[in-house]
Structure 1
Amino acid sequence: MAHPTVAVLERHLTLYKRLWRASLFSSFVLPVLFLASIGLGLGGYVGTVQGVPYVAWIVPGVLAATAFQMAVGECTYSVLGEFKWTRGAHAMYATRVSVRDMIGGWLLYIVFRIEVAVLVFLAIVAAFGVLGSPWALVTPLVAGLLALSVAAPVTAFSATIDHDSYFALLFRFVMIPSTLFAGVFFPVEQLPALVRPLAYASPLWHGVALCRAATMGAAPPWPWWAHVGYLVVFALAGMWWAGWAFRRRLQD
């Protein structure tokens, strides 16, 4: 018999096999269209940023933003539904599946989803010759760590609420501002000095910084271990919060 964590992962993959067509556009087509319109279209007017063509500069940002947005989106309604609508979490908890297994299997599923999308995206942009360094092969690892640092706390948040209207606040005041102001489309240094710490606080900025350093073969703004450490701390704190939230919710 499979380990309970693996069994949870298999459950989510089985469900995804029935629903994967619905995610094709948002996971694979939309990032490429976004890159073509902003990177190639707008890039013709922008020219270069930090000494490189805008399309090459924005590729790692779009890659990291794709992982970030997928992690947020996948961990909202799906997690709340397991407690509120389908009661799937309660059904699993009635077996020998523990809270740790549920969270571990779910986060492994999220990382798998994001890694597939990132690898497809990398293969497409590599065909256009906009990856300037072999270190670009590291970006899937960065995307996976970024996904964990985002998915864990969002999973915990989704397990603590009882109405999906809170997700509108999450999207409007967390996901969208992070995507716009975390260095995806323009250097954070162009922001007012008082606002920059908010950008640095976002896990997305650290993911963008690491991905951009890898694709360009340059040093990141902070030491690489500081960026990685920040994301690891976010992931571990989110997992602890998720464990607390799941145990509390499963008492219903």
Structure 2
Amino acid sequence: MSALTLKPLALKPLALREFDYWMLHYRRNWRATIVISVLNPLLFLLAMGAGLGRLVDDNAAPGALHGAAFLAFVAPGLLAAATMQTAITEAGRPVFMAVSPGGSYRSATAGPLGPDDVLAGHMLFMAFRIVSSAACFVAALLCFPSLRTAGLLWLTPAALLTGLAFAAPMAAWVATLETGAPMMRLFRFVIMPMYVFSGVFFPADQVPVALRYLIYGTPLWHGTELCRGLFLGDASRPALLGHTAYLAALTVLGLLLARRTYRRRLFA
């Protein structure tokens, strides 16, 4: 019986064994994460639409928000920002703990799995978490009749690309850390300012020029513009391709760097 039980596992690609490990942990608390993924955006969108949104719509200059109502303008930006937070969370402390002495990565690479298998399996789980969180956010958008447009169909794949553009470089960097202090500084001095100033709540072209070009270099701005352009349908094809290419290039670069840092850390 034991041989028959272990046979399906033995036939799985090694990366999927790592994915199964993270899914096993996720099954213990998935209900809490789903509730947070749905309730948080729903309550935030209610506040934006029924509260602040009315004030902005009544006082904003014509065309100030791409000609859209405030709720329609801010909803895809909030999705991109929420996706960033999910990616950073999944690629932050979990990777730091797993790569540390006694962590799960060490146990996995002591067996048949190599650093590349560990990276691929964990990144696959991060992609799953990004997609599931984005899908919950899109489900929350369906509660608002004014947001039920054909553009909703494009939001989940756009959010996935945005999340991977954060998760891959984050995992590559965290794998090099000896303490968690740098992650706290990253949240305080990089992630939070990016959340506020990357065009989520207002167009980036409304900030001073010097700050504007700094914003244009952030992945959150590209993710926000990609999600918003697909949702509102007002972006040109070259602009959408540019945002997609930027996020895809950052993802590939992050994976290449992660492959290098994982090998160095786990073979040390």
TM range (shorter): over 0.9
For this pair of structures, how many residues does the alignment match?
252
| Aligned counterpart, 1:224 | 240
| Regions of 4+ moved over 3 Å | none
| Aligned counterpart, 2:190 | 174
Matched, 1:78 2:94: yes
Q: TM-score, normalised by structure 1?
A: 0.94
Matched, 1:40 2:56: no
The superposition leaves residues 134-169 of structure 1 with CA deviations (integer Å, 9 ceiling, x where unpaired) of 132011111111111100011111111111111111
Aligned with residue 150 of structure 2, among 131, 134, 140: 134
Q: How does 1:1-252 map to 2 (within 5 A)?
A: 1-47=11-57, 49-84=65-100, 86-131=102-147, 133-219=149-235, 223-252=239-268
Structure 2 vs 1, CA of residues 109 and 32 (structure 1 numbering), >3 Å: closer, same or farther?
A: same
Q: Name the CA distance, whole Å, in 2 between partners of 1:213 and 1:95.
A: 46
The superposition leaves residues 82-139 of structure 1 with CA deviations (integer Å, 9 ceiling, x where unpaired) of 0226421111112222222211111111111121121122122123123364132011
Q: Name the CA distance, whole Å, in 1 between partners of 2:100 and 2:226.
A: 37
The superposition leaves residues 8-34 of structure 1 with CA deviations (integer Å, 9 ceiling, x where unpaired) of 111111111113244345433222222
- Whether the 8 Å CA contact 1:136–1:211 is kept in 2: the answer is no
Deviation of the 1:223 alpha carbon:
2.0
- Partner amino acid for 2:89? G
**Identity in percent:** 33
Q: TM-score, normalised by structure 2?
A: 0.88
- Whether the 8 Å CA contact 1:67–1:143 is kept in 2: the answer is yes
User: Which shifted more, 89-98 or 138-147?
Assistant: 89-98
Q: Name the CA distance, whole Å, in 2 between partners of 1:5 and 1:130.
A: 42
Name the SS for the 2:209 alignment partner. Answer: coil
- Partner amino acid for 1:18? R
User: Which shifted more, 146-155 or 36-45?
Assistant: 36-45
Q: Name the CA distance, whole Å, in 2 between partners of 1:158 and 1:213.
A: 32
The superposition leaves residues 204-223 of structure 1 with CA deviations (integer Å, 9 ceiling, x where unpaired) of 11111111111112115952
Consecutive unaligned residues in structure 1, runs of 5 or more: none
- Partner amino acid for 1:194? A
- Whether the 8 Å CA contact 1:209–1:221 is kept in 2: the answer is no
- Whether the 8 Å CA contact 1:157–1:242 is kept in 2: the answer is yes
Q: Name the CA distance, whole Å, in 2 between partners of 1:223 and 1:44.
A: 30
Q: Name the CA distance, whole Å, in 2 between partners of 1:72 and 1:207.
A: 14
Structure 2 vs 1, CA of residues 52 and 132 (structure 1 numbering), >3 Å: closer, same or farther?
A: farther
Name the larger-Rg structure.
2
- Partner amino acid for 1:167? M
Q: Name the CA distance, whole Å, in 1 between partners of 2:135 and 2:216.
A: 26
Deviation of the 1:59 alpha carbon:
0.6
